[in-house]
Amino acid sequence: MNFASPSVLVLGAHGRFGMAATQAFLLAGWHVHAQSRRNNASWPAGVEAVVVDAMDTEALCAAAQGMDVIVNALNPPYTEWERYALRLAANVLRAAEVSGALLMFPGNVYNFGRTLPPELHLNTPQVGNNSKARLRIEIERQLRMAAKRGVNSVVVRAGDFFGGEGRGSWFDLVIAKSLGQGKIVYPGPPDVLHAWAYLPDFAASFVRLANLRKELSGANSFHFPGHVFTGRELHSALEQVIERQLKLVALPWGLVRLSSMFSPMSRAILEMRYLWQRPFVLEDGALRELIGELPHTPGLSALAASLVALGYPPSSAGLVQGA
- Ordered by start, the domain boundaries in the chain are 7-159+198-225+278-296
Q: How far are the Cα atoms of 84, 120, 266 from residue 79, in angstroms, in the given order?
A: 10, 26, 9
Closest CA to 300 of 314, 319, 279: 319
**What is the C-alpha separation between 311 and 315, in angstroms, rounded?**
9
Residue 189: cis peptide before it, omega within 30 degrees of 0: no
**What is the C-alpha separation between 215 and 210, in angstroms, rounded?**
10
pLDDT band per the 50, 70, 90 thresholds, residue 289: very high
Cα 75 off chain centre by: 9
**What is the C-alpha separation between 275 and 31, in angstroms, rounded?**
37
Beta bridge partners of 238: none
CB 131, CB 271: distance < 8 Å: yes
The helix, strand and coil proportions of the chain, stated in percent and rounded to the nearest 5, come to 45, 20, 40
Q: Which ranges of 28-73 would DSSP assign to H, the alpha helix?
A: 57-64
Residue 5 has pLDDT above 60, yes or no: yes
Closest CA to 231 of 268, 271, 274, 190: 190
Which pLDDT score, from 0 to 100, does residue 43 have? 84
Residue 313: cis peptide before it, omega within 30 degrees of 0: yes
Q: How far are the Cα atoms of 6, 80, 123 from residue 27, in angstroms, in the given order?
A: 13, 33, 33
**What is the C-alpha separation between 312 and 56, in angstroms, rounded?**
39
**What is the C-alpha separation between 291 and 307, in angstroms, rounded?**
29
Across 166-181, average pLDDT? 91
CB 242, CB 317: distance < 8 Å: yes
Backbone angles phi, psi at 175, to 5 degrees: -70, -60
Collapse the DSSP code of 32 into the 3-class scheme (helix H, G, I; strand E, B; otherwise coil) and give the result: strand
Question: pLDDT tens across 59-108, in order?
Answer: 999 999 999 999 999 998 888 989 999 999 999 999 999 999 999 999 99
**CATH architecture under which domain 7-159+198-225+278-296 falls:** 3-Layer(aba) Sandwich (3.40)
Which positions ≥6 away from 1 have C-beta within 8 Å?
A: 31, 45, 46
Across 162-169, average pLDDT? 89
Question: pLDDT tens across 196-221, in order?
Answer: 999 999 999 999 999 999 999 999 99
Across 35-57, average pLDDT? 87
Question: How big is the CA angle at 77 (ends 73 and 82), to the nearest 5 degrees?
Answer: 95
**What is the C-alpha separation between 153 and 147, in angstroms, rounded?**
8
pLDDT band per the 50, 70, 90 thresholds, residue 39: confident
Question: pLDDT tens across 112-158, in order?
Answer: 999 999 999 999 999 999 999 999 999 999 999 999 999 999 999 99
Residues in the chain: 323
Which pLDDT score, from 0 to 100, does residue 44 have? 83
Identify the weakest region by mean pLDDT among 17-31, 63-77, 114-128, 303-317: 303-317
- 182 conformational bin, left if phi > 0, alpha if psi -120 to 50, beta if neither: left
CA end-to-end distance (rounded Å), the chain = 36
Eight-state DSSP code of residue 172: I
Backbone angles phi, psi at 163, to 5 degrees: 90, 170
